[in-house]
């Protein structure tokens, strides 16, 4: 018998061994949640796809010794990459990112505890390397392949085909996986650790290049614009009203304003929040818009912390988490506030762990700060009621004044809730998403009501202001048919769609007596200047694109991140200008000048005609977003910081 005919090329064997090992690590050593069979399947195939992609490159080496050496070292390096991630994961419950590699503090933390993170059985993870090493040294003649060019090309084509298949399934399982850049765990689960590292490095290098070419010369244009177009001299009547009070900010997940003072099956949806509308200690903003895009909750957090726009692609928390910022938390920190975020989800979600550092948040109570079990969780994790219950003790332990943020979770797509927890019935329409939405909104409303009581019991209520804000829409355009049924309309028009981007915004000031419903057009970009003024903090040199919501002399428009906007008089969406009150399209004024028809350059990107009343505002919205983007891409705050420190040094 000719053994040579039976030979298994080493690159195939290595793919097999390395693939199995990687799968075992993914499945049993990283604590990754698999929600369905498709995710299980993707997790099984991606280790083999990645291994084949690398090992199959070896066929291009003609010399036996080179081919063997390549396989030996790639197996070793691949294993080390896996292993470093595993050790890192054991400590941080997260995967390594390029910026983290350079974050001395993180690695320092790891250094001291490294011995406790290593297990004896970890040696087994190097078993395949030993086998590959042995065979490549001892039996190279049996393990080497010498393909014709066509064979090599075939192996390469095969690699790309497998990779494309893997990406296709991943994108099917998680639409916009790459552009939304959700979470490292999702990326690793779907495309594998190695492809994740390539992706992470690409995102990082793009950000770094833009950063490298920025030198601060872009700043004057931005500061001048803000000075002329955004800043207002008017002093808010509420300036300093909450001086030295604690701030309790609650992010209401996926709620939209249409549920406020509305009912479903004859039942009130949000009785507690409704009781605050028109309450004398509360300001309720009925025309307040979310301005988020792909970064969803994290985009809303970004807007509130910075009064800058999130990015049009990806989540800025993810792509520019290491930037210098002048966050609300940091500014308040300088005023003696202690800041903390409470959110019972994995810390790496939306890269919060890193971004909160950049924003100057002192402490992040993530999932591990909570007792989470099957009984007290649903859908995305810990239910809102136990979340607030368990948070109170931490809040009580904080030094005052504090600036705290609570991020709720139960009212998140797909809006799951048990019968027991549902106080109202589901809606009945063709969209199960919309049907399920109402009971979870009610649950969140009850959770918030309980939290108010707990704050009172804990003696924290009187000395605090409580801000509650919807983060982004919960019901997307895909449910327009069911939505029109619920709203009792023939259809959801583009104008209605913009109006559905309103989210509730409450500012509750215990003891205050002038609260009312505010009808001004406002948005998430306005939260930072509003809060700072209420707390009596004037951040004179901060670059903000929003206005205090309590002053009359405001910019007069809110830009949504897709380029649409709402002004006092108009709503512009997809280049069509509507009257804000009536929802009727506004005709462009008759233009006598025939050359106007050629002014396509003057026509702005979203298509408003130059003579449309929406056009001048559209141009401002676009300019503003461009400047805000430049600030982020160039990481320009670092130049302001350094200018300030230089000043300080000169003064000394
Ligand atoms: C996850 C939570 C929800 O931690 O903030 O994220 P979302 O999908 O709404 O952005
Ligand atoms: Mn959200």
Nearest ligand atom owner, CA of 472: 2
Ligand 1 in contact with 407 (CB < 6 A)? yes
- 581 close to 521: Cβ distance less than 8 angstroms: no
Q: Compute the distance between CA of residue 564 and CA of residue 548 in angstroms, rounded to an integer.
A: 21
Q: What is the pLDDT of residues 282-303, one digit of tens each?
A: 999 999 999 999 889 999 999 9
Say how far apart CA 320 and CA 246 lie, in whole Å: 29
Is the pTM higher than 0.85?
Answer: no
Provide the residue count of the chain: 652
> What's the pLDDT at 512?
97
- Of the ligands numbered here, which is closest to the C-alpha atom of 471? 2
Ligand 1: residue whose CA is nearest its atom 5:
297
Tell me the per-residue pLDDT of 542-590, one tens digit each, with 9 for 90 and over.
999 999 999 999 999 999 998 899 999 999 998 899 999 999 999 776 5
DSSP-assigned letter for residue 502: B
What value does the mean pLDDT take over residues 184-192? 87
How far apart CA 318 and CA 352 sit, in angstroms, is 8
Q: How far away, in angstroms, is 296 Cα from ligand 2 center?
A: 6
Q: What is the pLDDT of residue 562?
A: 86
Q: Which of 41-55, 434-448, 580-594 is predicted with the least confidence, judged by mean pLDDT? A: 580-594
Tokens of 175: 């639409």
Q: Which of 97, 297, 410, 522 is catalytic?
A: 297
32 Cβ neighbours under 8 A, 6+ residues apart: 26, 43, 185, 188, 189
- As a whole number, mean pLDDT of residues 118-122 equals 90
Strands (E), 509-650: 517-518, 522-523, 557-559, 565-567, 570-573, 576-579
Q: What would the mean pLDDT of 67-77 be, rounded to a whole number?
A: 96
Average pLDDT estimate for 229-242: 95
Q: Tell me the C-alpha distance between 548 and 241, whole Å.
A: 14
Tell me the pLDDT band of 599, cut-offs 50, 70 and 90.
very low
Indicate which atom in ligand 1 lies nearest the CA of residue 346. 4
Residue 176 predicted with pLDDT over 80: no
Residue 565 three-state SS: strand
Give the residue extent of every domain in the chain. 10-209, 233-554, 560-652
Question: Measured from the CB, is residue 415 less than 6 Å from ligand 1?
Answer: no
* DSSP strand pairing (338-342 vs 522-523): unpaired
pLDDT confidence bin for 591, thresholds 50/70/90: very low
Q: How far is 572 from 558, CA to CA, in rounded Å?
A: 11
- Looking at residue 256, its pLDDT comes to 98
Please check whether residue 256 is in contact with residue 470, taking contact to mean a CB–CB distance below 8 angstroms: yes
Round to whole Å and give the CA distance between 595 and 591. Answer: 9
Q: What is the pLDDT of residue 375?
A: 96
For residue 406, is pLDDT > 60? yes
CB of 412 closer than 6 angstroms to any ligand 1 atom: yes
Give the Cα separation of 2 and 521 in Å (integer). Answer: 82
Report how far residue 652's alpha carbon sits from residue 524's, in angstroms, rounded to the nearest whole number: 39
Q: What is the pLDDT of residue 203?
A: 80
Q: Is the CB of 544 under 6 A from ligand 1?
A: no
Across-strand partners of 469? 251, 505
Lowest-confidence pick of 195-204, 338-347, 359-368: 195-204
Q: Which residues contact 561 (CB under 8 A, 6 or more apart)?
A: 291, 292, 293, 299, 309, 310, 312, 625
Which residues, including other chains, have CB under 8 Å from residue 616's CB and lie 6 or more apart? none
Structure confidence at residue 200 (pLDDT) = 87
**From the CA of 503, which ligand is nearest?**
2
Question: Is pLDDT at 305 greater than 80 in this prediction?
Answer: yes
* Of 249, 350, 365, best ligand 1 pocket probe by most atoms within 8 Å of the beta carbon: 350
Q: Which of 429, 392, 431 is nearest to 414 (CA)?
A: 431
Fold match, 233-554 / 560-652:
no
Question: Is the domain covering 560-652 a CATH 3.20.20.80 domain?
Answer: no
Beta carbon of 349 within 6 Å of any ligand 1 atom: yes
Q: What is the SS3 assignment for 196?
A: helix
**Domain 233-554: assigned CATH number:** 3.40.720.10
Mutate to test the pocket of ligand 1, among 174, 186, 290, 297 (most ligand atoms within 8 A of CB): 297
**Calpha distance 541→487 (Å, rounded):** 45
3-state secondary structure of 480: helix
Q: Band the pLDDT of 118: cuts 50, 70, 90.
A: confident
Q: Given phi > 0 = left and psi -120 to 50 = alpha, else beta, which region is 410?
A: alpha
Distance in Å, CA 508 to ligand 1 centroid: 24
Sheet holding 402-407, edge to edge: 363-365, 338-342, 402-407, 246-252, 464-470, 505-508, 282-285, 517-518
Q: DSSP assignment of 131-192, as one string? A: HHHHHHHH-HHHH-----HHHHHHHHHHHHHHHHHHHHHHHHHSTTHHHHT--HHHHHHHH-
Task: Look at residues 254, 230, 322 and name the one whose alpha carbon lies nearest to residue 528.
Answer: 230
Q: Which residue has the tokens 């590292």?
A: 197
Cα distance between residue 537 and residue 240, in whole Å: 7
3-class secondary-structure state, position 409: coil
Of 309, 354, 361, 339, nearest to 523 by C-alpha is 309
Q: What pLDDT is stored for residue 4 in this prediction?
A: 52
pLDDT value, residue 107: 56
Query: What is the distance in angstroms between the CA of the first residue and the CA of the last residue of the chain?
Result: 88
pLDDT, residue 207, reads: 76
297 is a catalytic site residue? yes
Q: What digits encode the pLDDT tens for the residues 373-400?
A: 999 999 989 999 999 999 999 999 999 9
pLDDT at 174 over 80: no
Q: Is 345 in the pocket of ligand 1 (CB under 6 A)?
A: yes
**To the nearest whole number, what is the mean pLDDT of the chain?**
90
C-alpha 296 to ligand 1 mean position (Å): 7
């Amino acid at each position: 018998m000719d053994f040579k005919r039976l030979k298994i090329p080493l690159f195939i064997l290595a793919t097999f061994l390395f693939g199995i090992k990687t799968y075992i690590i993914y499945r049993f050593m990283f604590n990754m949640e698999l929600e369905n069979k498709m995710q299980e399947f993707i997790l099984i195939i991606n280790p083999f796809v990645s291994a084949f992609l690398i090992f199959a490159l070896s066929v291009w080496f003609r010399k036996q010794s080179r081919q063997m050496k390549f396989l030996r070292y790639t197996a070793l390096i691949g294993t080390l990459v896996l292993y470093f991630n595993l050790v890192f994961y054991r400590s941080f419950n997260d995967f390594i990112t390029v910026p983290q590699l350079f974050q001395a503090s993180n690695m320092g933390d790891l250094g001291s505890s490294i011995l406790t993170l290593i297990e004896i059985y970890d040696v087994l993870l190097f078993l395949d390397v030993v086998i590959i090493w042995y065979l490549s040294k001892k039996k190279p003649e049996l393990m080497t392949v010498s393909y014709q060019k066509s064979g090599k090309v075939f192996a390469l084509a095969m690699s790309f085909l497998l990779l494309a298949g893997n990406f296709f399934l991943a994108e099917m399982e998680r639409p916009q996986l790459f552009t939304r850049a959700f979470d490292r765990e999702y990326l690793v689960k779907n495309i594998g650790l190695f492809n994740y590292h390539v992706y992470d490095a690409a995102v990082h290098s793009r950000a770094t290049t833009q950063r490298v070419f920025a030198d601060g010369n872009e700043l004057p244009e931005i500061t001048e614009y803000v000075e002329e177009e955004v800043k207002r001299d008017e002093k808010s009547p509420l300036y300093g009203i909450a001086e030295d009070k604690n701030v309790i900010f609650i992010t209401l997940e996926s709620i939209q304003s249409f549920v406020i003072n509305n009912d479903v099956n004859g039942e009130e949806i949000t009785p507690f929040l409704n009781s605050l509308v028109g309450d004398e200690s509360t300001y309720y903003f009925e025309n307040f818009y979310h301005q988020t895009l792909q970064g969803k909750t994290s985009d809303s957090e970004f807007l509130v912390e910075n009064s800058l726009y999130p990015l049009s692609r990806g989540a800025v928390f993810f792509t520019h988490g290491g930037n210098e910022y002048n966050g609300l938390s940091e500014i308040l920190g300088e005023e003696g506030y202690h800041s903390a975020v409470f959110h019972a989800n994995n810390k790496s979600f939306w890269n919060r762990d890193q971004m909160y550092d950049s924003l100057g948040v002192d402490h992040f109570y993530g999932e591990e700060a909570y007792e989470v079990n099957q009984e007290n969780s649903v859908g995305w994790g810990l239910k809102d009621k136990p979340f607030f219950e368990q948070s109170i003790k931490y809040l009580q332990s904080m030094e005052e004044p504090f600036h705290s943020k609570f991020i709720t979770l139960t009212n998140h797509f797909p809006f799951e809730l048990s019968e027991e927890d549902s106080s109202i019935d589901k809606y009945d329409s063709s969209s199960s998403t919309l049907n399920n939405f109402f009971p979870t909104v009610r649950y969140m409303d009850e959770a918030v009501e309980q939290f108010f009581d707990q704050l009172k019991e804990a003696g924290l209520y009187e000395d605090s202001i409580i801000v509650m804000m919807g983060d982004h829409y919960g019901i997307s355009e895909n449910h327009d048919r069911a939505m029109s049924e619920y709203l009792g309309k023939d259809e959801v028009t583009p104008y209605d769609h913009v109006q559905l981007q309103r989210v509730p915004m409450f500012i509750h000031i215990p003891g205050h007596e002038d609260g009312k419903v505010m009808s001004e057009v406002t948005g998430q970009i306005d939260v930072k200047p509003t809060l700072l003024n209420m707390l009596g903090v004037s951040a004179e040199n901060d670059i903000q694109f929003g206005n205090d919501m309590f002053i009359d002399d405001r910019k007069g428009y809110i830009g949504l991140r897709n380029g649409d906007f709402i002004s006092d008089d108009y709503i512009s969406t997809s280049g069509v200008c509507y009257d804000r009150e009536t929802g009727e399209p506004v005709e462009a004024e008759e233009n006598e000048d025939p050359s106007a028809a050629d002014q396509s350059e003057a026509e702005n990107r979203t298509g408003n005609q130059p003579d449309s009343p929406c056009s001048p505002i559209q141009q401002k919205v676009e300019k503003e977003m461009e400047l805000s983007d430049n600030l982020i891409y160039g990481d320009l705050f670092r130049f302001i910081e350094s200018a300030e420190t230089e000043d300080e040094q000169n003064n000394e």
